[in-house]
Structure 1
Amino acid sequence: MPDRINTRLATRTAEMLALPHQVCRRRDCRRNNACSWHRNANGEPCCLINLTAEQRAIFDDVYRAARFAQGFLGTNPEYFQAQAGEQRELDDLAIAIARKSRDRFNRAKWDAAWRARERQARTRGEGGRG
């Protein structure tokens, strides 16, 4: 990844993908189903070194989507208007990850855009998320 990884966002992404439970070799992480150990050099959760290249590519895609959602849902919510399919699922996952981030850009607008998106989903009959 070209940019330095945001440790908190990477940790949340790994937890949402169940990596602490599925692939981590650290007992603390497996028992708590949460990332407890990070690599000092780049801030990545330790479990990422146990991923195959394909698994790492999936993690990177979800992490990038969450990082994008963290910054742009509050300013450009039109980026997150997919109605169905894989893009909608990726957007939902990215928003769920970014929603717990302390680093969200413009929190009030971000939360308002998230609530509007959820209302729109309920009116289409998809039910609530999150």
Structure 2
Amino acid sequence: MPLSVQTRLMVHTAEMLALPHLVCRRRDCRRRNACHWHFSGNGEPCCLRNLTAAQRQIFNEFYQQAQIILEHGGHHGLTYTWGNPEQRALFDAGVDIARTAVPPFDKRRFDAFRRDREKIPAPLPRPPQRTE
């Protein structure tokens, strides 16, 4: 399934993962650890073309998580009280990435959602299941 491209959100995701510094071939992006170049055809940051398939999959997970939170965070009773402790870091990063792309008129509501979410303790890791 192809990703829907939101250039600004993709740029913030790439910057959070330090992709401009680590994989971009453009000097100004590497030095500033900021995406300044994207493809005009599809809007993706140029550095994404330099990722391996496995690296791109990781980027896509972060991007999709941020996209979901940006579109639904705080709406319709969505509180993101996740029960999967293995995914908590991904979800936390998604909230931080989404915050950078929230429009100015919506920042107050999103920050309230973020504060409420931070009050929820992280679930404890599940004990390993015994197989006999």
- For the structure 1 residues 15 and 36, does the alpha-carbon distance in structure 2 shift closer, same or farther, using more than 3 Å as the test? same
What amino acid sits opposite 2:50 in the alignment?
N
Matched, 1:87 2:87: yes
The residue correspondences of 1:62-101 to structure 2 (distance < 5 A) are: 62-75=62-75, 76-78=77-79, 80-82=80-82, 85-101=85-101
Shift of 1:102: 3.4
Change over 3 Å in CA distance of 1:92–1:105 after alignment to 2: farther
TM-score scaled to structure 2, two decimals?
0.81
* Inter-CA distance 60–22: structure 2 relative to 1 (3 Å threshold): same
The residue type paired with residue 8 of structure 2 is R
Q: Which amino acid aligns with 2:32?
A: N
Q: Is the deviation greater in 32-41 or in 69-78? A: 69-78
Letter in 2 for 1:77: L
Secondary structure of the residue that 2:111 maps to in structure 1? helix
What CA deviation, in whole Å up to 9, does each residue of 1:53-112 have, x standing for no partner?
A: 00011111110100000011111433x212562311111000000001134895443221
2:35: which partner in 1?
Answer: 35
More helix by share: 1
- The total of aligned residue pairs comes to 122
In our comparison, the structure showing a higher alpha carbon Rg is: 2
TM-score, scaled relative to structure 1? 0.82
Of all paired residues, the percent bearing the same amino acid is: 49
Partners of 1:69 and 1:105 in 2: CA distance: 17
**1:74·1:109 contact (CA, 8 Å) conserved in 2?**
yes
Structure 2: segments with no counterpart, 5+ residues:
124-132
Residue ranges of structure 1 left out of the alignment (5+ in a row): 125-130
